[in-house]
A and B are shown apart, each in its own frame.
Chain A
Amino acid sequence: MKTLQRALPWLVLIIALLYSGQKVVDSDSIPSRFDLDTFREIPVSASGRTKPLDTVARNSLMNLSGRQSIRTEDGEKISAVEWYLELITQPEQSVQRRVFRIDHPDVLALLGLDSEKRTRFSFAEIRPAGTEINRQANLASKLKAKARDPFQRAILVLNQRLMLFSELSQLQRPYLVPPLTVGDDWRSFVTVLNENPMDQDARMLLKMLQSYRDNDAEAFNAELEKFVALVDSQVPYDARKARYEVVFNHVQPFITASALYLIAFLLGCFGLLSSQLSKPDWSTALLGSMTNAIIVAFIVQTIGIASRVYLQGRPPVTNLYSSAIFIGWFSIIIGLIIDRQMKLGLGGIMASVIGFGTLIVAHNLGSSGDTMEMMQAVLDTNFWLATHVVVVTIGYSATFFAGFLATAYVLLGVFTRVLDRERGKSLTKMVYAVICFATVTSFVGTVLGGIWADQSWGRFWGWDAKENGAALIVFMNLLILHARWGGMIKDRGLAVLAISGNIITAWSWFGTNMLGVGLHSYGFTQSAVFWIAVFVLIQLTLMGIGLIPLSFWRSKFARADAAQGLIVDSK
């Protein structure tokens, strides 16, 4: 028994490392006579960024169907890049592929497909209703985004997907022709061939595509080899990055990390449970295992973030997607520090909850396309992205962490006997410390934003929605601190107010974007509204639980405090 307890953390560490490493080692080579593994590494230019064809194919397929590969009716798997090649060389086959995901029943009825028991349809099935889709999309696009009903939104999504499909199949995007022997920027394949049918760079690609269509693998591979050699010598930096990105696409570090956080969370919960069941050795073993799982996940996530920084040439936070990943990442740091201070394991448990949660949020935000898109001109500055955005995001992270620790305080205090007087005190101290840290970072981050605004349009403070959101976080943290210093709240009050910090942070992070006003109103999603509402309701419930009179709390420290309070009152 003792040996197992001692070995468990090591065992978890090794398994976690193997699990993470396996994805890298594991080949995802495409079985084909054509050298598609090399083909998908070809850099192209899309949405203002050079990226491998693999990314274009995966993102496009993701956008159309919500998946990164297709399964045919006979269960055969077709990779994204094969699907893309078929789309541009064999249109008669590709229109039969069921790649359009359609869920809305009225849209299906409009297409006459409502009797089908599936959610993915082929272009050939949709085509007959093309004019009607167009008409409906026109009607819907005349309304403001907020005024559209679900059917209209679904029609617009379908219309946008049809446009993407046709632009891809007609080779209008991405820009396929690299600056090899002609020019110095990527060019559109069709435009080049229309203007100059003898253009050398485009002709190499043309030959490749023709031999693919003619099923001539030898010619394809030979032409590809020549092309890639030229790409390597003319645009070596883009070629290197594209290769790296293909590996990054395959490894999907954030998915690995989220699985590990989930495991860490479970280990942590069992650790707490054993401590409640008075099995301290098991508790130590399980909590140690949790920490090890978190450390491995953290390393994986760090590599993921570093890869994005390298690929994008930008600081880590550039959009909502990356802010979610960064918030989770920084929470892990806070959690690990807290666990060093307080041996209860709560830092790790809460860190894994936030780590897992934010990665899920990021996954959903990223499902509609490229998560490394280019930024509007005013955001095009690495200095401010690296300072203001990163520090503000750390402020979000810390405020969330304080709120989650406070949640642990309330839940453990009310429902378990885990918290004794000493643990209760030290947990409160941690919540307090994290709030102090959050105050500093959110203030500094907000002010840096003000300086950026002053630098770019001469207004330090413009009362813009997102600025106000950041200010709300600062004010909330200041309110908590001053209330504490003034003796208006004690440990429990601190916890309840810290939980309300979660609501304010969620509002500031997401809510302000939903208003559709101001300079920062990017990345609005309908379903996000629902989830934010759920999150807020949960926090309100937790605050309500926290307000239950201390005499009903199961943890003894609380009852002692309540009793004390009675004595004080009766004096």
Chain B
Amino acid sequence: MIKKILKPWASLKLTVVIFALSIFLIFAGTLAQVNSGIWTVVDEYFRSVMVTIPLQIFVPRDIANIPGAIWFPGGLTLGVLMFINLIAAHVVRFKFAKKRIGIIITHFGIILLLVGEFITGYAAQEGNLTILEGQTVNFVEDVRASELSVTDQSAPDDDRVVVVPDRFLETGKTITNGLLPFNIKITEWMPNSQMLGPAQAPPSRKGLADSGMAKDLAALPLPRANGVDGATVDAPSAYVTLYNGEQRLGSFLLSVYIDQPQRVVVDGRPYLIQVRFKRTYKPYSMRLIDFKHDLFTGTQMARNYSSLVQLVDEERNVDREVLIYMNHPLRHAGETFYQASFLRGDTGTVLQVVKNPGWLIPYISSSLVALGMLIHFGIRLVPALRRSSK
């Protein structure tokens, strides 16, 4: 019964069609990267059910303007089809024979590889750890999301932090919550913005904030970053006005461009308010002892970047120095830390933090595929060649 249902899905013709479609999709997804950011492309082309491929990507804009687009199955669809095709083929035609063992191992590896990519697509988390030299940091930032935080520092031992995730931040909205010491009216929310100094700001954007340390600056909204011109990160800013009941506390410019939180006093108690990239606090902390950026003699070309950090994790009884550098990440607490970037003037480091529960799967699956191929071609091909040379 099952075999009957699966039979049409087991066809080699389907396999070839999937390969052909995949080739086209990957080709288009590569060309699309010229005009869109890689993450946009990955989501639209390779992790989607369906993709509309603009025909323009196949022809440079300075040669001709081509309107229109075609519908095409996305990477998810093709991956699932390939998965079904493989399973069906083995269920329908399964025969355990010595000469098929290579193929079975290879295909099992491919299935695992597809599963691994699926897990990575849904479960992998990436974030950044930005540390200045000498600073200790115990949170990871996700630069693809932001939040508005209000910190109450009045308790002697602990800070109480309330955060509003960016999905609640909209222009015109007022945020009221029992946990907040004041109401926040969002005059303007800019998902991506640029920051201008007092001299550069156009008159229309001046004086939108009357309190706080950023009142002389001005934020201008920008279109969302799509990876063009190297900008892959949105830098949100907001103009907010705070109210204690009916009493107006002042209007502030908050932005990820401003490193320091700004002070607001309510009923004699000080609070700190800030728009920042989304933070996840960790049970461990890292102190940057030294960041090194070595150059090749007589050039501006980087030879190496390295960060010497003190890793402290009380839960796991870890307190040691670690050197993280190119191609030598640190693995700790199910996360991996990579040397990713650095701050201007080599004053600090940016580590990429990746948590991918499926990280081992590609290693296992691709070893299986390679092993299977070697067995298969070894069994089938070598004797055939030997025959032909005689």
Seen from chain A, the residues whose Cβ lies within 8 Å of a Cβ on chain B are 45-49, 147, 173-175, 185-186, 188, 340-342, 374, 376-378, 380-381, 384, 426, 429, 433, 436-437, 439-440, 443-444, 447, 450-452, 454-465, 468-469, 471-472, 475-476, 478-479, 482-483, 485-486, 488, 504, 507, 512, 515-518
Contacts and interface: CB of A to CB of B under 8 A. Distances in A.
Nearest to A455: B327
Nearest to B15: A482
Contacts of A483: 12, 16
Interface stretch (B260-268, B269-277, B370-378): B370-378
Top 9 A-B pairs, shortest CB-CB distance: A48-B296, A486-B12, A458-B354, A479-B19, A447-B366, A460-B362, A377-B302, A468-B30, A175-B298
B370 to A, nearest CB: 5
A482 B23 contact: no
19 contacts: A47-B301, A48-B295, A173-B298, A174-B298, A175-B298, A340-B389, A377-B304, A429-B385, A436-B381, A455-B327, A456-B326, A457-B352, A458-B329, A463-B46, A472-B27, A475-B19, A479-B20, A486-B15, A518-B38
A433 B370 contact: no
B38 A458 contact: no
Contact of A458 (B29, B298, B305, B352): B352
Contacts of A486: 11-13, 15-16
Given A463-B38, A478-B19, A488-B13, A515 B33 contact: yes
A454 B126 CA distance: 13
Nearest to A48: B296
Given A377-B304, A515-B31, A47 B299 contact: yes
Contact of B329 (A340, A374, A456, A472): A456
A374 B299 contact: yes
B94 interface: no
A462 B352 CA distance: 15
A248 B326 CA distance: 33
B117 to A, nearest CB: 7
Given A456-B327, A469-B30, A380 B354 contact: no
B23 A476 contact: yes
B26 interface: yes
A463 B29 contact: yes
B297 interface: yes
B296 A47 contact: yes
Given A458-B356, A468-B30, A469-B30, 6 more contacts: A48-B296, A48-B297, A380-B327, A429-B384, A483-B12, A504-B23
Contacts, number: 170
Interface of B: 11-13, 15-16, 19-20, 22-23, 26-27, 29-31, 33-34, 38, 41-42, 45-46, 62, 116-117, 120, 126, 295-299, 301-305, 326-327, 329, 336, 338, 340, 352, 354, 356, 359, 362-363, 366, 369-370, 373-374, 377, 381, 384-385, 388-389
A548 B133 CA distance: 69
B34 A516 contact: yes
Contacts of B356: 458
B38 A464 contact: yes
B291 to A, nearest CB: 13
Contacts of A384: 327
Contacts of B62: 147
A457 B298 contact: no
Contacts of A475: 19, 22-23, 26
Given A455-B329, A460-B359, A186 B298 contact: yes
> Dominant SS at the B interface?
helix
A524 B30 CA distance: 16
Contacts of B33: 465, 515, 517-518
B125 to A, nearest CB: 10
Given A486-B16, A517-B34, A454 B303 contact: no
Contact of B302 (A46, A47, A376): A376
Contacts of B16: 479, 482-483, 486, 488
A515 B352 CA distance: 26
Contacts of A461: 117, 120, 362
Contacts of A439: 373
Nearest to A465: B30
Contacts of B295: 48
B374 A440 contact: yes
Nearest to A483: B16
B303 to A, nearest CB: 6
B338 A456 contact: yes
B388 A458 contact: no
A463 B42 contact: yes
Contacts of B377: 436-437, 440
Residue among B30, B117, B303, B329 having the largest count of chain A Cβ atoms under 10 Å: B30
Contacts of B42: 462-463
A464 B45 CA distance: 13
B14 to A, nearest CB: 10
Contact of A447 (B30, B126, B305, B362): B362
Nearest to A512: B30
B19 A482 contact: yes
